[in-house]
Amino acid sequence: MKKQVCDLTVINNTRLNHDNYLIELKPSIKLENIQPGQFVNIQVKDSPTTFLRRPFSIHDVNYYNNTFAILVKTVGDGTFKLSKIEKNETLDVVFPLGNGFSEPSKGEKILLIGGGVGIAPMMHMARESKNIGVEVHILLGARSESDHILVNEFSQFGQVHLTTDDGTLGIHGFVTDHDIMSSKWKFDRFYCCGPDPMMHAVAKRAKALKTECEVSLENMMACGFGVCLCCVTKTNEGNKCVCTEGPVFNINDLEWQI
């Protein structure tokens, strides 16, 4: 879909837990061919401390209703302001931006790995993958039971596996402590998004298992056009802007000490 800059109408703003909100948006133009892993940049109105647009992964797309959703976690003034937006208000949005995950092949078996708010791009990926006949497993990690969100929604598209740092739900530990990341499961691909240490750990496991792995980086992306250069990451082909060359990268292309 060609990049657009326009006002989108808020259809719903649903509070999921203590600090996560699901905001459903409707553009006036037709949505089509949005890749899982692409993102939007939103101007936060009436927030004097928020000077730059804020990037958010496209969480899910409903082509029938011509809507898409973003997941917002309140971590500062900008996201707090967004969390209070009401139905029928509008947001100034640039979308869709960046390059998404590569499409798996029909019949493949894939593992989607999301940690914290890094689960955001995985719903659209899970839906699209199931629709083309891929066996989908979803591994979600969070600090505690109260931090896990949208588990039932993910279960519509594949088998869900859970971990918590404190052991209050699922396996006690990090996502890489879960048995599903052992050699006996034999996945064709890993797709991952979350905190940087988690993605490095997943990449290391993927290398050991000789499993293809893509990660969605969460560098600060202020402009979304590759102009401000604040999101640059090191790759085997030199420095690249995450907002234009990513946010999704194959781990083999990154200069990570795995």
The domain that contains 202 carries what CATH number? 3.40.50.80
State residue 39's pLDDT score: 96
Around Cβ 240, how many Cβ atoms within 10 Å?
Answer: 19
The CA distance from 74 to 109, in Å, is: 34
Query: Which residues touch 172 (CB under 8 Å, ≥6 apart)?
Result: 163, 164, 166
d(CA 141, CA 147): 9
| 179-184 LR contacts (CB < 8 Å, sep 24+) | 180/111, 180/137, 180/139, 181/111, 181/139, 181/205, 181/209, 183/209
Q: Which domain holds residue 34?
A: 4-97
Of 255, 239, 192, the C-alpha closest to 218 is: 192
Domain assignment of residue 87, yes or no = yes
Asked if 126 and 195 sit in the same domain, the reply is yes
* Domain termination site, one of 97, 123, 150: 97
In a domain, 247, yes or no: no
Give the other-Cβ count within 10 Å of 199's Cβ. 24
- Give the Cα-Cα-Cα angle 223, 203, 118 (nearest 5 degrees): 45
Structural domain includes residue 45 = yes
| Token couple for 107 | 């019949």
From 63, 97, 131, the end of a domain falls on: 97
174 phi, psi to nearest 5 deg: -90, 170
Q: Do both 75 and 159 map to the same domain? A: no
168 located within any domain: yes
Q: Kindly report the CA angle at 195 between 85 and 94, in degrees rounded to 5?
A: 40
Does residue 142 lie in a domain region?
yes
pLDDT tens for the chain, 258 residues: list them: 888 889 999 999 999 999 999 999 999 999 999 999 999 999 998 777 877 889 999 999 999 999 999 999 999 999 999 999 999 999 999 999 999 999 999 999 999 999 999 999 999 999 999 999 999 999 999 999 999 999 999 999 999 999 999 999 999 999 999 999 999 999 999 999 999 999 999 999 999 999 999 999 988 777 777 787 788 999 999 999 999 999 999 999 999 866
pLDDT of residue 161: 98
The DSSP annotation for 78-129 comes to HHHHHHT--TT-EEEEEEEESB-PPPPPTT-EEEEEEEGGGGTTHHHHHHHH
Are 90 and 113 found together in one domain?
A: no
251 assigned to some structural domain? no
CB 256 within 8 A of CB 192: no
Provide the pLDDT for residue 191: 98
pLDDT of res. 257? 66
Asked, for residue 238, whether it belongs to a domain, the answer is: no
Q: What is the DSSP letter of 247?
A: B
Q: Are 83 and 153 in a shared domain?
A: no
The CATH number of whichever domain residue 41 belongs to comes to: 2.40.30.10
Q: Return the bridge partners of 15, or none.
A: 21
CA distance 246 to 231: 10
In this predicted structure, what is the pLDDT of residue 16?
98
237 domain-assigned: no
> Of 97, 123, 139, which residue constitutes the final position of a domain?
97
Number of domains the chain is built from: 2
What pLDDT was estimated at residue 258?
A: 64
Q: Do 125 and 181 have their domain in common?
A: yes
Peptide bond into 247 cis (omega under 30): yes
- Is there a single domain that holds both residue 193 and residue 152? yes
